[in-house]
């Protein structure tokens, strides 16, 4: 029997809000239970900054440095919707990510059993 799937969507600016850091901590925590298959998606014009090379400009930077590596260990990339307006800011990112169109976001939402949206 396959595990249920959980999609964590982060839509807020990690430079001004603690919600993205909390979303990453949640994704890492529930993924560690091995009771659900977790996928992480950054959506919107600013959420993708969560994947920039240095976390020191982000609110709750400790959550990024501690938990993002755990999420990145998943067999799939971290998804960034192409609504993120500054993909060039991720050029030095150490994280494997894939830029996807909004239509793929819709598919991900349908494919998952649970949705956490921050």
Domain boundaries, the chain: 5-117
What was the pLDDT predicted at 61?
Answer: 93
Q: For the segment 31-64, what is each residue's pLDDT rounded down to a tens digit?
A: 988 899 999 999 999 999 999 988 889 999 999 9
Average pLDDT over residues 73-88: 92
Could you tell me what percent of the chain has a pLDDT over 70?
100
Residue with tokens 């959550």: 63
Does the pTM exceed 0.85?
yes
Average pLDDT over residues 54-82: 93
Specify the 3-state DSSP secondary structure of 117. strand
The dotted CATH code for 5-117 is: 3.40.1260.10
CA distance 25 to 101: 25
Residue 1's beta-bridge partner residues? none
Comparing C-alpha atoms, which of 86, 85, 82 is closest to residue 99?
A: 82
């Amino acid at each position: 029997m396959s595990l249920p799937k959980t999609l964590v969507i982060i839509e807020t600016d990690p430079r001004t809000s603690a919600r993205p850091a909390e979303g990453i901590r949640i994704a890492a925590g529930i993924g560690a239970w091995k009771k659900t298959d977790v996928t992480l998606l950054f959506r919107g014009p600013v959420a993708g900054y969560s994947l920039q090379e240095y976390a020191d400009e982000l609110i709750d930077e400790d959550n990024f440095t501690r938990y993002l590596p755990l999420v990145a260990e998943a067999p799939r990339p971290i998804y960034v919707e192409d609504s993120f307006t500054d993909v060039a800011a991720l050029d030095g990112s150490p994280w494997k990510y894939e830029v996807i169109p909004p239509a793929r976001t819709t598919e991900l939402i349908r494919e998952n059993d649970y949705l956490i949206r921050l």
